């Protein structure tokens, strides 16, 4: 049974792709064009009623929300590929903590940058300079906390690569490579080393190689 992943061009679905590669799970992808509104069509809404990406189908099992999907596969294939949840319940607790930090503190301001710097020109809408400035300030503060954390442990949840780190790749890529904010990472020694480490994993390179970002 091959897992179907919808929307591989976009950032959040890439969180799923890199996880499946780390877990050595075979998958195929189904394109969904957000710019054509395909995520709001009735057929898609049957799979994902909120009309957002990604969603997966694995036989008759359907699941959405990228961070739920990566937890599911990390658990289902615990003994296959890279261990992504830590070895103990306490390690997993920290993996969960940093997954939440990524979701509430890291991704949202980067998403604002992507909207205003990359998407606004394509959609022909004005960019909100205030939102960009506020996002830059938020990201700097968040990365200061990461710098402190990563001065004490090689990865976010401890001295092991986990879902917590992996979950940063999709929007970290936007930050470093597509919104011209690489300096926010490079100015912080431990964040910079951590980013080099995780973004050079063969799994992530394979995702980037096979599924271009739309912008």
| List of residues contacting its own copies (CB under 8 A) | 49-50, 61, 63-65, 67-69, 71-72, 75-76, 89-90, 92-94, 96-97, 99-101, 103-105, 145, 148-149
Query: Least distance from C-beta 63 to its own copies, angstroms?
Result: 5
Decide whether 105 or 127 has the Cβ nearer to its own copies. Answer: 105
Decide whether 162 or 199 has the Cβ nearer to its own copies. Answer: 162
Query: Least distance from C-beta 152 to its own copies, angstroms?
Result: 12
Query: Least distance from C-beta 61 to its own copies, angstroms?
Result: 6
Decide whether 93 or 121 has the Cβ nearer to its own copies. Answer: 93
Query: Least distance from C-beta 69 to its own copies, angstroms?
Result: 8
By CB atoms closer than 10 A (0-12, 13-18, 19+), residue 182 is: middle
């Amino acid at each position: 049974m091959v897992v179907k992943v919808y929307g591989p061009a976009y950032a959040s679905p890439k969180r799923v792709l890199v996880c499946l590669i780390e877990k050595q799970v075979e998958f195929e992808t189904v394109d969904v064009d957000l710019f054509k509104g395909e995520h709001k069509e009735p057929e898609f809404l049957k799979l994902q009623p909120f009309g957002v990406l990604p969603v997966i189908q694995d036989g008759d099992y359907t699941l959405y929300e990228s961070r739920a999907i990566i937890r599911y596969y990390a658990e289902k294939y615990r003994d296959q590929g890279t261990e992504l949840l830590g070895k103990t319940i306490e390690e997993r607790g920290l993996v969960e903590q940093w997954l939440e930090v990524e979701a509430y503190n890291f991704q949202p301001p980067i998403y604002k940058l992507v909207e205003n710097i990359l998407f606004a020109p394509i959609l022909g809408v004005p960019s909100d300079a205030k939102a960009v400035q506020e996002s830059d300030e938020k990201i700097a503060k968040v990365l200061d906390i990461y710098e402190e954390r990563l001065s004490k442990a090689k990865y976010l949840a401890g001295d092991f690569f986990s879902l917590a780190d992996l979950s940063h790749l999709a929007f970290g890529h936007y930050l470093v490579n597509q919104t011209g904010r690489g300096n926010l990472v490079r100015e912080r020694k431990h964040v910079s080393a951590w980013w080099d480490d995780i973004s050079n994993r063969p799994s992530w390179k394979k995702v980037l190689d096979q599924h271009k970002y739309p912008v």
